[in-house]
Homo-oligomer: A and B are copies of this chain.
């Protein structure tokens, strides 16, 4: 497609002129189409198409001083970790005619900040972010600009914005207690980098807490930090299995790492869970598909996305401060966890 000299952006008045109706009728067609007879509506919509008029930038936005756009920044689009929750979030926005624009920060704080500023500059009515930990100056910026912001994937009543999510600490604590109850004493952990990732920090701390309450030494935890990825999980698993004492269970910070660990275990000739148990976190599709199935923590992703959307919509449209919500997780037992060999 060649790019000819750009035409003037068409206005509501241009649409009205072309359709032979008043601008008020065009507005009604776009905002309350049921109140316009079909023939007129069709003529107006044809004019909208002919002129390439963008209603979002026209009547609706001017009328409400809003763009009907919500921005989201998620840490990654890979591996579907955030996809299901985000999909539910978008479906709920959709019911209100709101478009979702998403940026992906590769778990990098400085990139997230840039993306947040871009979304604000591009007119986002509100923001949806993952995890509450970020530079207070950034929260200040959003506050000064009056951009309603909501955080998901954690529940933290002390965060500067409403959070809708689960308690990462108690979610992982449940799983760690179960692992220890199965008889495991030498626990390996593969975690995302804890610095700047409040979810990862809470999950590792929970495993140490479970060890402590069972009379095990929390400092004996054998920990590797790595990026979230299947290959990274595999490499970290191999490193852990060369340490002394060799762990009898490897608890992973998410399902993606765990699936990588499971693949490498097979390649190294280990039986799972006979030689070594492996656990995950999230309960994404991968956890059900791999063999044996992955014992993990089920996170109510869709519920989280839907509730976050409803809360953010009311923050944007009613100007309310918004209310955090805590959702429950549960341990899902599948074949990858068993007692250690005597």
Contacts and interface: CB of A to CB of B under 8 A. Distances in A.
Interface residues of A, number: 76
Interface string A64-82: 0001110100001111101
A299 to B, nearest CB: 15
A161 B1 contact: yes
A119 to B, nearest CB: 7
Copies per complex of this chain = 2
A122 interface: yes
A83 B78 contact: yes
A82 B104 CA distance: 13
Given A2-B321, A140-B52, A146-B5, A104 B104 contact: no
A95 to B, nearest CB: 12
Given A1-B321, A289-B263, A122 B101 contact: yes
Interface in A137-166: 137, 139-149, 160-162
Contact of A52 (B80, B90, B104, B145): B145
B102 A103 contact: yes
Contacts of A7: 144-146
A77 B74 CA distance: 12
Given A6-B146, A86-B77, A87-B77, A67 B102 contact: no
Contacts of A77: 77, 80, 82-83, 86-87, 102
A226 interface: no
Contacts of A57: 121-122
A114 interface: yes
A313 to B, nearest CB: 14
A278 interface: no
Interface in A158-176: 160-162
Interface in A32-87: 49, 52, 54-57, 67-69, 71, 76-80, 82-84, 86-87
A103 B104 contact: no
A148 B1 contact: yes
Nearest to A94: B111
A142 B286 contact: no
Nearest to A142: B1
A20 interface: no
A290 B290 contact: yes
A322 B2 CA distance: 8
Given A102-B101, A148-B1, A161-B1, A122 B123 contact: yes
B290 A148 contact: no
Interface string A295-306: 000000000000
Given A79-B80, A101-B102, 8 more contacts: A1-B142, A1-B162, A54-B120, A79-B285, A102-B103, A230-B285, A285-B286, A289-B289
